């Protein structure tokens, strides 16, 4: 696959401008207010990452821990590095993070048309748990709900 190592860090307020630029490439981009709100969530987790040898943020993920469950709320990978293993590294890292926090079930949702992301999630043990009709806007589209049990997934990433 030829992917380089991903350096993953906890998101900081000073990362917001770069994350906003990354988000501008996505159909469901988050706003500055949404990002700032997520950083203030007491049960939230937010990570940014860049490939080794680069300082530019190329991936972003945030989610929430609720007792023994987690929900991944947002995953964004820069368009120019998609399908190069970077999303896999980020997901491995987050699933290990969740497992270490005692999470028994992890949930996420994605656009029904996002077959590349769905394929990645399925490779990591997620399965379809349901749908939400017309959940997304611009364009209107169904959401696919997915679930996995991160405590049972082998994770190779090292926590930083």
Annotated catalytic, 136? no
Angle between helices 86-100 and 115-123 (to 10 degrees): 50
Our CA angle for 48, 50, 54, nearest 5°, is 145
Catalytic residue among 23, 71, 109, 141: 109
Is residue 121 among the annotated active site residues?
A: yes
Of the listed 23, 71, 121, 136, which one is catalytic?
121
Peptide bond just before 139 cis, omega within 30 deg: yes
Query: Which residues have a catalytic role annotated?
Result: 109, 121
């Amino acid at each position: 696959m030829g992917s380089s190592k991903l350096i993953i860090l906890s998101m900081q307020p000073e990362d917001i401008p770069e994350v906003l630029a990354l988000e501008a490439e996505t159909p469901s981009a988050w706003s500055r207010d949404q990002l700032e709100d997520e950083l203030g969530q007491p049960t939230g987790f937010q990570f940014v990452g860049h490939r080794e040898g680069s300082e530019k943020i190329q991936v972003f993920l945030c989610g929430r821990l609720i007792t023994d469950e987690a929900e991944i709320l947002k995953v964004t990978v820069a368009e120019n590095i998609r399908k190069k293993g970077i999303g896999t590294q980020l997901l491995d890292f987050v699933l290990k993070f969740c497992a270490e926090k005692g999470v028994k079930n992890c949930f996420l949702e994605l656009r029904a048309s996002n077959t590349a992301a769905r394929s990645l999630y399925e490779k990591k043990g997620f399965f379809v748990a349901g749908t939400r009709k017309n959940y997304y806007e611009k364009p209107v589209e169904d959401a696919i709900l997915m679930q996995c049990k991160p405590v049972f997934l082998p994770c190779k990433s090292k926590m930083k």
